[in-house]
């Protein structure tokens, strides 16, 4: 199964905070209500909640994307 991570479009985001309410394990809010996302991959057990958070964003600012493969240096 592909690895996923959350991404926020800061231009679209209006700081409603729904995402952090639905997925506090991966999203917290800054002092102005804008999301701060963990840069980790979304764990499999939280993928359903992550999809709900993405779907509930009123500004469509939150999305799930494939995680980039980590390069071996």
Residue 37 in contact with residue 4, Cβ under 8 Å?
Answer: no
pTM recorded for the entire structure: 0.85
CATH architecture of 4-66: 2-Layer Sandwich (3.30)
| Angle (nearest 5°) at CA 56 between 51 and 58 | 135
Report d(CA 9, CA 46) in Å as an integer.
Answer: 21
Residue 39 has what pLDDT? 79
Statement: residue 61 has pLDDT above 60 = yes
pLDDT digits (tens, 9 = 90+) for 6-51: 999 999 999 999 999 999 999 999 999 999 998 789 999 999 999 9
Residue 4 has what pLDDT? 95
Statement: residue 5 has pLDDT above 70 = yes
Residue 65 in contact with residue 4, Cβ under 8 Å?
Answer: yes
Domain extents for the chain?
Answer: 4-66
Task: Name the pLDDT band for 67 (thresholds 50, 70, 90).
Answer: confident
């Amino acid at each position: 199964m592909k690895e996923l991570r959350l991404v926020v479009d800061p231009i679209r985001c209006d700081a409603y905070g729904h995402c952090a309410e639905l997925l506090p394990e991966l999203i917290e809010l800054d002092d102005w209500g804008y999301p701060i996302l963990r840069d980790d991959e979304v764990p499999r057990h939280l993928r359903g909640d992550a999809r709900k958070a993405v779907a509930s964003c009123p500004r469509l600012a939150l999305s799930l994307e494939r995680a980039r493969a980590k390069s071996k240096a």
